[in-house]
Structure 1
Amino acid sequence: MTETASQKAEEFGFHPGDIIQEWLWDDDVDDAIRASIEDLTGEELVDEDYGSSVDGVIIWWRDGDDEDELSDTIVDATGVLDESGPLWVLTPKPGRPGAASSSTVQNAAKTAGMNAATPLTVSPDWNGIRLRAFGKGK
């Protein structure tokens, strides 16, 4: 892939008009990813306190955060996510501060009843892992 998903936000599976909820934001997130999603959808990202259903979710997760917290966050996020909406866990790439092993994300996803896909490079410093409910296709 010659373009990263932050340059080509449709790789996330989001569409114009979608409401995307962002979990575990902190000042280390990649603002280019956030901006590209907002540019594509035409909507600002909403936070964990958003009170309605959403069309997609991104979760920023770093090593050192509690794996059980990630599982709980995934469960909470799927509770407001439209049935067919994409859910992504974004983690720092290997060698970056806060880099998380893919097995940690896979274990948390499994605990939450989800499958984790192969990581996708979404920016120079972040990978994304799409989660799907067990039994769902690609």
Structure 2
Amino acid sequence: METATDFDKLGLHRGQVVQELGWDDDADENLRQQVMDTVDSDLIEDADDAVDVVWLWLRGDDGDVADGLVDAIRDLSDDGFVILLTPKVGRPGTVDPSDLSEGAATAGMVLTSTHNVSDDWQAHKVVRPKGSRR
């Protein structure tokens, strides 16, 4: 993603508290910096209170998508959402699209959109179904 406007499509904006999970050496540092610039804050690892967004890096060998999402929503506010980042098709660690939608459903969530956010990563916005939000 090149501009803060691109992050609007994902629902990121200034003042949000963003928890980052699944970071590893292959994470896109430029992308992380763009997120921090957009929300005007550092990403947090351990949350003391509910967070607005969980920024979850997930690769094919990291385990089940549903398990990753269940872990991600532990600290998520009732109206918060998850940005699930997976390697693009053809990159090491690619996650099958059917695993994404099935994993979201198993975790009780809905996959709403997918965006190319860097050369190697795509972002999937995952939300709670509207009826389950408070």
Aligning the two structures, in what range does the TM-score lie when normalised by the shorter sequence? 0.7 to 0.9
Once the two structures are TM-superposed, the CA of residue 59 in structure 1 deviates from its matched residue by 0.7
* Structure 1 runs not aligned, ≥5 long: none
Under a length normalisation based on structure 2, what TM-score does the superposition of the two structures give?
0.86
**CA–CA separation in structure 2 for the residues paired with 1:81 and 1:38:** 18
Amino acid at match of 2:34: S
Corresponding residue for 2:18?
20
Instruction: Give the aligned CA root-mean-square deviation in angstroms.
Output: 1.6
**CA–CA separation in structure 2 for the residues paired with 1:122 and 1:107:** 22
**CA–CA separation in structure 2 for the residues paired with 1:113 and 1:21:** 20
**CA–CA separation in structure 2 for the residues paired with 1:15 and 1:58:** 13
Corresponding residue for 2:127?
132
Identity of aligned residues (%): 34
* Structure 2 runs not aligned, ≥5 long: none
Q: Choose from 35, 44, 47 the match for 1:46.
A: 44
* Structure richer in helix, relative to its length: 2
Amino acid at match of 1:113: G
**CA–CA separation in structure 1 for the residues paired with 2:80 and 2:69:** 13
Alignment of 1:7 with 2:3, yes or no, is yes
Q: Choose from 70, 74, 85 the match for 1:90.
A: 85
Once the two structures are TM-superposed, the CA of residue 65 in structure 1 deviates from its matched residue by 2.1
Corresponding residue for 1:99?
94
Once the two structures are TM-superposed, the CA of residue 80 in structure 1 deviates from its matched residue by 1.5
Corresponding residue for 1:111?
106
**Residues 104-129 of structure 1: CA distance to partner in whole angstroms, max 9, x if unpaired?**
11111111001113421111111111
Paired residues, number: 129
Once the two structures are TM-superposed, the CA of residue 135 in structure 1 deviates from its matched residue by 3.6
Q: Secondary structure at the match of 1:98?
A: coil
Asked if 1 retains the 8 angstrom alpha-carbon contact of 2:47 and 2:75, the reply is: no
